[in-house]
Amino acid sequence: MDRLLKILLSGVVAGVILFVTASIVYNYIGHISDPSLSHIFREKISMKWFYKLLIITAGTGIIMALFYSLIYSGLPGGNIFKGIFWGFIVWLIIVHQPLITLLVVGKFTMDLLVSWILQGLVSYVAAGISISLIYKD
């Protein structure tokens, strides 16, 4: 039971980090730039939008924590490095498929690249670190 509690707690904390980062970036650029979230949020900002983003990022954080718990012993380094590595891997998986698609279609801009790098890399690595600090054995 202790392991399940750690997974849920670390996942929710990671989700809150993802939510706060997405909200801050939205405040500055006026739209969700994270490719894992951008196609979901086409409506104007509202409380419905707020709750939807909170639930999705918390779910993403819990899924990240669950997979982290499964591969924890196979990740290199100490706790914090494991979290950095895990966040980087998740960022690579989530961001690069839509990035390649937009490059092929020709709808890719430099602003989009910068926002994906800043928002995605920072938020997923921070989420990975939070998971590693809470889940540590």
Where in the sequence is the domain holding 110, given as residue range(s)?
Answer: 2-135
For residues 124 and 94, the answer to whether their CB atoms sit within 8 Å is: yes
How far apart, in whole angstroms, are the C-alpha atoms of residue 106 and residue 124? 26
Interval 22-76: pLDDT, tens: 777 777 766 666 655 655 655 566 677 778 878 888 998 999 999 999 998 889 8
Counting the structural domains of the chain, the total is 1
Interval 79-99: pLDDT, tens: 899 999 999 999 888 877 777
